[in-house]
Amino acid sequence: MIQALAKKATVRDDVATESQERPAIRIKGLSKRFGSFTAVDNVTIDIARGEFFMIVGPSGCGKTTLLRILAGLEAPTDGSIDVSVEAGSQRPVNSMVFQGDSIFPWMTVWDNAAYGLKMRRAPQAQIKEVVGHYLDRTGLLKFADAYPHQLSGGMKQRVSIARAFANDPEILLMDEPFSALDAQNKLLLQEELLRIWEENKKTVLFITHDVDEAVKLGDRIMVMTAQPGRVKTVVPVSLARPRDVLELQQNPEFGKLVHQIWSSLREEVQRARELDEAKGVRK
């Protein structure tokens, strides 16, 4: 039974002919069940090309599962994902910036950032140029030969971002990339991320539990419900770009949006807590 459902589920990344009109990502009726536990339930959403799309939700709402399905690390139980790729494109479909320490401790900063390109056997000249560019943009060029243990947490996460950007994917997936950082580093990295993103406006899917971050970075914010994870509401963010993450905090529109998202999220966080307490699980 489960297998039959799994077969129905598809992740397609085939070439689209009319790519300009089609959304970059079309998620239709996507569900993921682990045994009797439903992590993601019937999520349907279109994400436009070049959109910075934010997902917020209480912990355990299946947002990471959703991203892992998009990254090809989990198979959906039901539903489909369509990623439209420009005709003739050689670029990889997606690259992920993982939550926590994910850069290889046994590689130098340079080799880490070059990983995706090396894996797809890109020509040396291209690797040199692209990796050099993104290490420069992330301020890591002078640490190119350093090993991760010599870097701070913020620098490691910058390597992870450089690695994903250097791979030049159709879409970037970011799973709470700044959650382990202190407030000051977080602010700097948000600024840096926006600056790099402005260069080529890739489609980004970004998970966070930080509402401020969601409003600062996103074009739209999807709020997910507590278990099972469904789409509760999608809020457009009309703040002008390019944005200054510091200036934004004084913007009344910013405050209104943060308040709006928080009110929507609070019910779900409350409900997630009740669910946890009912199960006797301490988070």
Partner 1 sequence: MSAHIEADTVRPTRSWKLSENTRDRVISVASPVLLLLVWEIAARTGLIDTRFFPAPSSIFETLVTLSSTGELWQHTAASLQRLFIGFLVGGIPALILGIIMGLSRPVRAIFDPLISATYPIPKSSILPLALLIFGLGEGSKIFMVAVGVFFPVAINATAGVREINKIYLDVGRNFKASRWDTFRTIALPGALPVIMTGIKLGVGMGLVLIAIAEMMGAKSGLGYMIWAAWETFSVEQMYVGLFVIAIIGFVLTLVLNEIEKRLVPWKR
Identity of residue 194: L
Is residue 177 part of the contact set for partner 1 (CB under 8 A)?
Answer: no
Is residue 120 part of the contact set for partner 1 (CB under 8 A)?
Answer: yes
Is residue 115 part of the contact set for partner 1 (CB under 8 A)?
Answer: yes
- Choosing from 58, 116, 177, 229, the residue that interacts with partner 1 (CB under 8 A) is 116
Q: Are 147 and 108 in contact (CB under 8 A)?
A: yes
- Kindly indicate which of the ranges 6-14, 41-49, 102-110, 249-257 contains the residues binding partner 1, using the contact rule CB under 8 A: 102-110
Rounded Cα distance between 12 and 40, Å, is 19
- Kindly indicate which of the ranges 103-111, 132-140, 223-231, 274-282 contains the residues binding partner 1, using the contact rule CB under 8 A: 103-111
- Kindly indicate which of the ranges 24-32, 79-87, 90-98, 263-271 contains the residues binding partner 1, using the contact rule CB under 8 A: 90-98
- Choosing from 138, 167, 225, 227, the residue that interacts with partner 1 (CB under 8 A) is 167
Three-state SS at 127: helix
What does the angle CA 127 – CA 132 – CA 135 come to, to the nearest 5 degrees?
120
Q: Are 109 and 148 in contact (CB under 8 A)?
A: yes
Rounded Cα distance between 180 and 139, Å, is 20
- Choosing from 15, 48, 87, 119, the residue that interacts with partner 1 (CB under 8 A) is 119
Count of residues making up the chain:
283
C-alpha of 98 from chain center: 8
Q: Is the peptide bond before 169 cis (omega within 30 degrees of 0)?
A: no
Is residue 145 part of the contact set for partner 1 (CB under 8 A)?
Answer: no
- Choosing from 15, 101, 136, 266, the residue that interacts with partner 1 (CB under 8 A) is 101
Name the residues that contact partner 1, by CB under 8 A: 71-73, 92, 94-96, 98, 100-102, 104-107, 115-116, 119-120, 147-149, 163, 167
